[in-house]
Amino acid sequence: MKKIRWGILSTGNIANSFVMDLKHIPDAEVIAVGSRTQESADTFGQKYNIPNCYNSYEALANDPDVDVIYIATPHVFHAENSILCMKAKKAVLCEKAFSINAGEAKTMIQVARQNKVFLMEALITRHFPVIHQVLDWVKDGLIGEVRLVQANRCARGEFTPESRVMNLELGGGSLLDLGIYAVGFSSMVYSQVPRKISGFGFIGDYGTDEQGASILEYDNGALAVLTFALRTETINEAYIYGTDGYIKLPDLFAVPNKASLHINGQESIEFEKPILGNGLHYQVKEVHRCLRKGLLESPRMPLEESLQIMETMDAIRSSWDLSYPNDSSIK
């Protein structure tokens, strides 16, 4: 089978993890990397044996041999970088958060459709085998009607004002960095748009949200209770409660290797699947499946859902004293 040829846009932490995990996908080949500097592109290229190392994102986007580009820059650049690649007719896998706001997400989707290229948000959780099992349990009605989702995605780190996750100029803060996992989880379980959205956020010394919480209300009063933080550690579990039982995903639910099914009055059932590497390649399997079938978006991570998740996150932070530099959206 002909290999699918990847280009990597930027050379930071997750770009390194991604390339290392691609070794678990036999029909993937990394043939190019683009960085803001030649030195960084060359260092990355030498480390992973990548033949084409470019000193600009434009040069990477215009490499005629590249099939699909992985965008791994800070959130504020996702829209701009994805659009650059899609206009060069490249398929794109773009890191989470998909964009800074719903306005940018809409533009990205329009550009994907105009150029007839594949686009997917790299929200990894839903591509893990454990999640496929969990969604089957829900779909088969084993816990009855889902009434409540709970998810925590909180961590405590020591950050400087310059670090990406705390830097407002780069789209820092707990909602876009970690809250996205909880919001994305709820969106995946309910497969619908919340009808009411609340959002609490604490804005710290660096002007970004250090922690927050949201309650989402869905049809028939079903709820999601979500927390996210960069300066508070919690147990990062997720629960799906239904009328006939519940499903538990233990810490770290966003990168799941096990889940348990608890049907009222029955013995619980465990499902376990060890994770290879960092687990970033499960989403790549989905990208390859879609590209080989000629799909322009993934049924597992549809573009409308990425847009709805951004709309939900816009609503969560709407009452906070926080706006990102490009909140007015891109041209």
Ligand X SMILES: NC(=O)c1ccc[n+]([C@@H]2O[C@H](COP(=O)([O-])OP(=O)(O)OC[C@H]3O[C@@H](n4cnc5c(N)ncnc54)[C@H](OP(=O)(O)O)[C@@H]3O)[C@@H](O)[C@H]2O)c1
Task: Using CB under 6 A, list all residues that contact ligand X.
Answer: 10-15, 35-36, 40, 72-75, 77, 95-96, 122, 124, 164, 170, 177
Minimum gap (Å) between residue 74 Cβ and ligand X = 5
DSSP structural state of residue 156: B
How is residue 79 written in tokens? 């829209």
The dihedral built from the CA positions of residue 181, 186, 189 and 195, taken in this order, carries a sign that is negative
Q: Are 310 and 102 spatial neighbours (Cβ–Cβ below 8 Å)?
A: yes
Minimum gap (Å) between residue 22 Cβ and ligand X = 14
Choice between 173 and 245, CB closer to ligand X: 173
Minimum gap (Å) between residue 167 Cβ and ligand X = 8
Choice between 11 and 298, CB closer to ligand X: 11
Whole-number Å distance between alpha carbons of 313 and 319: 11
Choice between 274 and 294, CB closer to ligand X: 274
Give 323's contacts (C-beta < 8 A, 6+ positions apart): none
Closest CA to 238 of 138, 159, 112, 95: 138
How is residue 224 written in tokens? 């999601």
Q: Which residue is nearest to ligand X (CB)?
A: 12
Minimum gap (Å) between residue 200 Cβ and ligand X = 22
Minimum gap (Å) between residue 123 Cβ and ligand X = 8
Minimum gap (Å) between residue 114 Cβ and ligand X = 24
Choice between 51 and 221, CB closer to ligand X: 51
Whole-number Å distance between alpha carbons of 302 and 322: 28
Q: Which residues pair with 239 in a beta bridge?
A: 150, 248
Closest CA to 301 of 222, 187, 146: 187
Q: Are 87 and 303 spatial neighbours (Cβ–Cβ below 8 Å)?
A: no
Closest CA to 258 of 278, 244, 243, 274: 274
Choice between 15 and 154, CB closer to ligand X: 15
Choice between 61 and 72, CB closer to ligand X: 72
